[in-house]
């Protein structure tokens, strides 16, 4: 039962598709009779999506011929008439032959041959075939610009006159391989990190110097204030005098720390800057003997 149902459904589907093709062909023919070749071509191409029958291909080709799409018309008509045993093709053989003769007035066959026939063949910038070719391609007749491109090789170009209705052979000479220039390794740029760190330390030493000066000034102010105050000579000294003395002692420590850090940072920074590698090329001396002389050149 399942097999029978499947076969019946397939038969219905085929009948439905055939009916759609018939309807599309009728509409396309009616549109062509009214002069709407573009609309007709749309109907025929929709029919072609459903069926590859020779009559469908022929109708597509005839509509393309009417629109002046000669290359497409030649390709599709050749595919249609290759079915010589098809009843529709046999009945319309005379009309199709007349259409073929008109189409061949506008197109010609092109076959690229020779040692350089490798890569891709372009006609008027459009890719038409992969090389080597197994059969000719149909192109528009007249003056055409041919080009063969192949990766790693120089391109070959030439103007070419395609004779209509004939097989046009073109000889492609051997293509020249592109010369690949050796890549010269450039020395890596030297790092400036050491120089940057060195100058940073020199800048930080200025902060240490400022801290030392601040401690020196604050210590001297506190010491002078106690010296001017007679009560500070008493034993024990008043609390204000002791506070100023504590301030003087603290500022003395700040002064020492500031000056010492400034000296250490400045010295370290100068050493890093002076020993940092230079990006400038090394100085070289080159000499060469000349006629009764010796020439030398210094490169900095």
Give the model's pLDDT for residue 1.
54
In angstroms, the CA 275 to CA 49 distance is 79
E-assigned strand segments in the chain:
107-113, 119-123, 126-131, 137-140, 142-149, 156-162, 167-171, 284-290, 293-299
- Between the CA atoms of 7, 8, 12 and 14, what dihedral angle is there, to the nearest 10 degrees? 20
Q: How far apart are CA 137 and CA 112, in angstroms?
A: 9
**What is the structure's pLDDT at 41?**
95
Q: Can you give the pLDDT at residue 209? A: 80
Specify the 3-state DSSP secondary structure of 89. Answer: helix
Q: Which residues make Cβ contacts (< 8 Å) with residue 259, sequence separation at least 6? A: 208, 209, 212
* pLDDT at residue number 3: 44
Q: Is residue 55 within 8 Å of 88, Cβ to Cβ? A: yes
What pLDDT shows up at residue 4?
45
pLDDT by residue for the chain (300 residues), tens only, comes to 544 444 444 454 556 788 999 999 999 999 999 999 999 999 999 999 999 999 999 999 999 999 999 999 999 999 999 999 999 999 999 999 999 999 999 999 999 999 989 999 999 999 999 999 999 999 999 999 999 999 999 999 999 999 999 999 999 999 999 876 666 666 555 557 777 777 787 787 788 788 778 878 878 876 777 677 777 766 776 777 777 777 878 878 878 887 788 788 778 767 776 777 765 555 454 554 544 444 555 455
pTM for this predicted structure: 0.54
For residue range 172-213, what is the model confidence (pLDDT) as tens digits?
999 999 876 666 666 555 557 777 777 787 787 788 788 778
């Amino acid at each position: 039962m399942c097999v029978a149902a499947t076969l019946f459904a397939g038969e219905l589907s085929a009948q439905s598709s055939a009916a759609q093709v018939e309807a599309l062909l009728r509409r396309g023919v009616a549109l062509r009779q009214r002069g709407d070749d573009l609309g007709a071509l749309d109907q025929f191409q929709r029919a072609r999506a459903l069926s590859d029958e020779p009559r469908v291909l022929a109708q597509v080709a005839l509509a393309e011929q009417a629109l002046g799409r000669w290359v497409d018309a030649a390709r599709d008509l050749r595919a249609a008439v290759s079915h010589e045993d098809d009843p529709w093709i046999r009945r319309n053989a005379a009309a199709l032959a007349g259409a073929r003769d008109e189409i061949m007035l506008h197109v010609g066959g092109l076959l690229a041959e020779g040692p350089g026939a490798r890569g891709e063949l372009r006609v008027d910038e459009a890719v038409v075939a992969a090389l080597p070719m197994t059969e000719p391609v149909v192109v528009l007749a007249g003056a055409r610009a041919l080009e063969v491109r192949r990766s790693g090789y120089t391109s070959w170009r030439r103007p070419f006159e395609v004779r209509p209705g004939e097989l046009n052979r073109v000889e492609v000479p051997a293509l020249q391989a592109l010369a690949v220039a050796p890549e010269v390794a450039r020395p890596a740029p030297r790092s400036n990190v050491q120089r940057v760190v060195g100058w940073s330390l020199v800048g930080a030493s200025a902060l240490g110097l400022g801290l030392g000066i601040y401690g020196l000034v604050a210590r001297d102010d506190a010491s002078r204030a106690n010296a001017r105050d007679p009560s500070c000579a008493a034993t024990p000294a008043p609390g204000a005098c002791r506070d100023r003395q504590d301030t003087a002692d603290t500022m003395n420590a700040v002064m020492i720390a500031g000056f010492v850090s400034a000296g250490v940072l400045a010295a370290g920074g100068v050493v890093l800057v002076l020993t940092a590698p230079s990006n400038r090329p090394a100085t070289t001396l080159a000499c060469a003997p000349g006629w009764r002389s010796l020439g030398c050149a210094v490169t900095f």
